[in-house]
Amino acid sequence: MTHMKEKYINFFTDYGFKRLFGSEPTKDCLIDFLNGLLEDREKPIVELEYRNTEHLGALELDRKAIFDLYCTTSDGSHIIVELQKAKQQFFKDRALFYSTFPIQEQAQKGEWNFKLSNIYTIAILDFIFDDDSETPDKYLYDVKLTEQETHQVFYDKLSFIYLEMPRFKKTSTELKTQQDKWLYAIKHLNALNTIPDELKQDIFENFFKAAEVAKLTPKEKENYEKSLKYYRDLNNVIDTAFDEGKEEGRKEEEEKRKDAEAKRKDAEGKLQQALKNIIEKGIPEEEARKLLGLD
């Protein structure tokens, strides 16, 4: 077993995510995180129940880079919380697809008026969307069905919340809201050695206490190390693919530059030959240059 230098576990591992947000001892942490994120709810969440994620119908392929929790609140709301490490080709389609399972789950036999409870899909992303380059500082997306012309919410019971963690760049002294504090704690957990003064609250004390590597049993450490190894391996694959993409892009740019230079030299040669031909016909060089636009 390798020696771990970090004081706290990495939240972005499968083990870290499930231990800190998906277990009974730290349920209060998840509840507080959700209340900080879902501020538009009429009432805060006071209790929730963990459900079997098999109810989501998730594909085995998704398990490699997506860790999810499924829970229901005491008022009947359904909440999917997932941590996604890598991009998928149809990421938004997938999120919409899995949100349909809690909808179907609410269907009742016999007479039913189709009234549904709230459904929230919350995705904590360890990557950046490809299609929002025009908003480099935006890290939170709260998506609902809206009317296109007025932008008014058409249906408020289906919500998709995306958190692009690489874009959350607030320092500890810039944390104002509970939402800010949770995003900071999640992002920087395994890089911290002490709890920042801005997070000196009972809820964060419990969160950091549960994250202490030294408090893990030998079996828990073994499971965490396996999860951490997979996390690092996945990061290496992503980084390698990114570097290869950059190298490929560099080569393409170099080829374009060489091609443009060759075309420039070819055009220059043709102009020089045209200039020579005109001068040979008895036209003064100065006038010939003007004719060819070579002033």
Give residue limits of the domains in the chain. 14-215, 217-295
Give the whole-angstrom CA distance, residue 25 versus residue 21.
9
Alpha-carbon gap, residue 176 to 161, rounded angstroms: 20
Buried residues in 170-187 as b, exposed as e (16+ CB within 10 A): eeeeebeebbbbbbbbbb
The pLDDT score that the predictor gives to residue 232 is: 83
- Token pair of 247, please? 């190298």
* Cα–Cα separations (whole angstroms), residue 31 to 2, 123, 124, 136, 258: 34, 16, 15, 29, 58
Of the candidates 195, 192, 190, 193, which has an alpha carbon nearest to the alpha carbon of residue 231? 190
Q: What is the pLDDT of residue 287?
A: 72
Q: Residue 171: what pLDDT? A: 95
What does the DSSP 8-state code read for residue 212?
B
Alpha helices in 189-291 (DSSP H): 202-211, 218-280, 285-291
Strand pairing of 119-125 and 153-164?
parallel
Q: Which two tokens stand for residue 181?
A: 């504090």
What number of CA atoms fall less than 13 Å from residue 295's CA on the CB side?
4
Which pLDDT tens digits describe the chain residue by residue (295 residues)?
Answer: 445 588 999 999 989 999 999 999 999 999 999 999 998 787 899 999 998 776 565 555 445 557 788 999 988 899 999 998 777 667 788 888 888 888 888 877 667 778 888 999 999 998 887 666 677 889 999 999 999 899 899 988 999 999 999 999 999 999 999 999 999 999 999 999 999 999 999 999 999 999 999 999 999 999 999 988 888 877 676 555 555 555 566 667 777 777 777 887 877 777 788 778 777 777 777 777 766 666 6
Task: Give how far the C-alpha of residue 47 lies from the chain's centroid of Cα atoms, to the nearest Å.
Answer: 27
DSSP annotation of 8 reads B
Please state, in angstroms and rounded to a whole number, the distance separating the CA atoms of residues 195 and 162: 26
Kindly write down the DSSP assignment for every residue of 235-263, as one continuous string.
Answer: HHHHHHHHHHHHHHHHHHHHHHHHHHHHH
pLDDT reported for residue 224: 93
At 61 the pLDDT is 47
pLDDT for res 240 = 59
Cα–Cα nearest to 205, from 221, 217, 194:
194
Specify the pLDDT at position 2: 46
> Mutual orientation of helices 202-211 and 27-37 as an angle, nearest 10°?
130
